[in-house]
């Protein structure tokens, strides 16, 4: 039996006990016996494995294959409940074929090429990368493991990507606020300059305009992620440019081009020690996005400074780029002695489980995080088996209406 004080059990010993070959033992213990090994022999091998206490030597198998059965998820802020739902979907889809390893990126940053290089030493079978940096594909070393990008609008023409369609949820949110009588709303953005935050902001601004709603703090800014270029046909960690050498326009989660940008007024933002940024032009944030770090404390501190200016500018509601930011707005309103939703309506994005039990419960654009994880894992499995086809349609968002929004 394996373990201290006993000889190491080998596949040859299992084969001898079961009366079969080492190759047959390998098929059974690696889950590849269906259609290749009879049920009777499969059962004999499993019995021998149990009796002898055989444990598969994954390290040796990895050396032989040149890779492990690990799938690595690279993502920022993994303690966020949103990623718990994503990983649940990934784990369900991977099943027993692969082991999932989580790699936490430093808070306030996005997955980059250096993060991939660090996990490459584990010889992963494939990578799942959530909301990568704008230059992620350009900086990758060629010939890396297959990868799939999650929630990465603008990368669809360059890599295997699974994204959200934000339009249904944003339309429903804006329509809900408009029907309640809100005519000026403020927007609290995330400090991380991710493409998904840029698209959330752009759709909110464009759809609000069709309802005659003014959005404070959702103007375009110089830090917006650049358009994605090129196309990676095989899903590997690498990239190239469009055939004519031109730069392609950025794509939204529905594969259409992003909403037209507002004119760049060159308003820069000052970054605070906690990663938050505030407009340096006007207190209402109209000169550029008001940004906050994705922690409750950072978001609350930023919102305490921004809300008075927003109220003076006529805002009756605040939409935050993520529920974690919206929690900070709720905390800030409490600090300022404001009633939600009586004095200020609040809404967010993600529809985290906590949003049902905040005070008051939070209205939020719900993103199907588990479905995103499942779709990404299925896409990666297809890449690994050489059966990849065009990716799934963007996953539709919806609106969860709760008590944090009401007429002004």
- The domain spanning residue 196 has which CATH number? 3.40.50.2300
**335 and 186 fall within a common domain:** yes
- Tokens encoding 243: 């055939």
236-to-86, 140, 148 alpha-carbon distances in Å? 22, 10, 8
The parent domain of residue 36 ranges over: 11-56
Residue 2 lies in a domain: no
Angle at 144 between CA 140 and CA 148, to 5 degrees: 80
What is the C-alpha separation between 121 and 20, in angstroms, rounded? 36
Cα atoms in the 13 Å half-sphere on the side-chain side of 402: 24
Residue 242 lies in a domain: yes
pLDDT of residue 99: 81
**46 and 77 fall within a common domain:** no
378-to-128, 140, 260, 375 alpha-carbon distances in Å? 11, 23, 33, 5
Is residue 391 within 8 Å of 380, Cβ to Cβ? no
- Tokens encoding 355: 């949003």
What is the C-alpha separation between 301 and 297, in angstroms, rounded? 6
Residue 6 lies in a domain: no
**115 and 237 fall within a common domain:** no
**378 and 238 fall within a common domain:** no
Question: What is residue 171's three-state secondary structure?
Answer: helix
Task: Identify any residues that bridge with 363 across adjacent strands, giving them in sequence order.
Answer: 347
Query: In 3D, which of 220, 213, 216 has the Cα closest to residue 186?
Result: 216
pLDDT of residue 380: 92
Query: In 3D, which of 187, 268, 180 has the Cα closest to residue 224?
Result: 268
**286 and 158 fall within a common domain:** no
**298 and 356 fall within a common domain:** yes
pLDDT of residue 238: 43
Residue 310 lies in a domain: yes
The total number of structural domains that make up the chain: 3
Residue 407 lies in a domain: no
What is the C-alpha separation between 323 and 289, in angstroms, rounded? 17
Q: Which residues contact 41 (CB under 8 A, 6 or more apart)?
A: 18, 20, 24, 28
pLDDT of residue 56: 65
Angle at 195 between CA 306 and CA 298, to 5 degrees: 30
**309 and 360 fall within a common domain:** yes
**183 and 74 fall within a common domain:** no
pTM, rounded to two decimals: 0.71
pLDDT of residue 145: 83
pLDDT of residue 162: 94
Q: Tens digits of per-residue pLDDT, 337-369?
A: 999 999 999 999 999 999 999 999 999 999 999
3-state secondary structure 136-160: HHHHCCCCCCEEEEECCCCCCCCCE
pLDDT of residue 68: 66
pLDDT of residue 57: 57
**181 and 252 fall within a common domain:** yes
What is the C-alpha separation between 208 and 203, in angstroms, rounded? 8
Residue 403 lies in a domain: no
Whose tokens are 């409940």? That residue is 81
Is residue 314 within 8 Å of 342, Cβ to Cβ? no
Query: In 3D, which of 98, 101, 105 has the Cα closest to residue 79?
Result: 105
pLDDT of residue 61: 52
pLDDT of residue 134: 78
Q: What does 290-348 look like in DSSP terms, one character per residue?
A: EEE-SSHHHHHHHHHHHHHHHHHTT--EEEESSHHHHHHHHHHHHHTT--TTTT-EEEE
Is residue 390 within 8 Å of 164, Cβ to Cβ? no
**146 and 30 fall within a common domain:** no
pLDDT of residue 220: 54
pLDDT of residue 139: 82
Residue 230 lies in a domain: yes
24: domain CATH number?
A: 1.10.260
**158 and 286 fall within a common domain:** no
Q: What does 274-290 look like in DSSP terms, one character per residue?
A: TS-EEESS-TTSTTS-E
**226 and 321 fall within a common domain:** yes
Handedness of CA 91, 96, 97, 101 (dihedral sign): positive
pLDDT of residue 183: 97
The parts of the chain modelled with pLDDT lower than 70 are 1-6, 56-68, 78, 106-108, 219-288
Question: What is residue 269's three-state secondary structure?
Answer: strand
Residue 5 lies in a domain: no
- Tokens encoding 182: 């809100």
- Rounded to the nearest angstrom, the gap between the alpha carbon of residue 173 and the centroid of all alpha carbons in its chain is 21
- Rounded to the nearest angstrom, the gap between the alpha carbon of residue 24 and the centroid of all alpha carbons in its chain is 40
Query: In 3D, which of 132, 131, 155, 183 has the Cα closest to residue 322?
Result: 131
pLDDT of residue 186: 97
pLDDT of residue 181: 97
């Amino acid at each position: 039996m394996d373990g201290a004080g006993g000889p190491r059990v080998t596949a040859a010993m299992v084969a001898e006990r079961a009366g079969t070959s080492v190759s047959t033992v390998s098929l059974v213990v690696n889950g590849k016996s269906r259609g290749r090994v009879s049920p009777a022999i499969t059962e004999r091998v499993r019995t021998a494995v149990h009796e002898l206490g055989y444990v598969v030597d994954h390290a040796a198998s990895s050396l032989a294959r040149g890779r492990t059965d690990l799938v690595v998820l690279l993502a920022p802020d993994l303690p966020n409940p949103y990623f718990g739902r994503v990983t649940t979907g990934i784990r369900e889809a991977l099943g027993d074929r692969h082991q999932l390893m989580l790699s936490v990126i430093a808070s306030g940053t996005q997955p980059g090429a250096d993060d991939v290089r660090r996990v490459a030493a584990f010889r992963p079978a494939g990578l799942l990368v959530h909301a990568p940096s704008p230059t992620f594909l350009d900086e990758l070393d060629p010939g890396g493991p297959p990868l799939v990008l999650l929630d990465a609008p603008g990368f669809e023409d360059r890599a295997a990507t699974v994204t959200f369609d934000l339009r249904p949820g944003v339309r429903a949110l804006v329509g809900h606020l408009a029907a309640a009588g809100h005519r000026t709303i403020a927007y609290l953005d995330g400090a991380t300059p991710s493409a998904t935050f840029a698209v959330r902001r752009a759709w909110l601004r464009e759809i609000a305009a069709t309802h005659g709603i003014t959005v404070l703090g959702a103007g375009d800014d110089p830090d917006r992620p650049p358009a994605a270029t090129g196309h990676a046909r095989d899903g590997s960690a690498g990239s190239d440019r469009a055939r004519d050498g031109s730069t392609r326009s950025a794509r939204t989660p529905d594969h259409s081009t992003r909403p037209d940008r507002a004119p760049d007024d060159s308003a820069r933002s000052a970054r605070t020690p906690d990663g938050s940024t505030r407009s340096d032009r006007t207190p209402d944030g109209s000169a550029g996005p008001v940004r906050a770090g994705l922690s409750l404390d950072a978001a609350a501190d930023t919102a305490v400074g921004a809300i008075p200016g927003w109220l003076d500018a006529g805002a009756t509601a605040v939409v935050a780029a993520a529920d974690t930011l919206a929690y900070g707005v709720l905390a800030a309103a409490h600090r300022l002695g404001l009633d939600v939703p009586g004095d200020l309506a609040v809404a967010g994005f993600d529809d985290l489980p906590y949003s049902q039990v905040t005070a008051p419960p939070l209205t939020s654009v719900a993103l199907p995080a588990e479905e995103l994880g499942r779709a990404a894992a299925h896409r990666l499995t297809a890449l690994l088996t050489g059966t990849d086809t065009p990716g799934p349609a963007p996953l539709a968002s919806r609106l969860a209406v709760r008590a944090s929004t009401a007429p002004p």
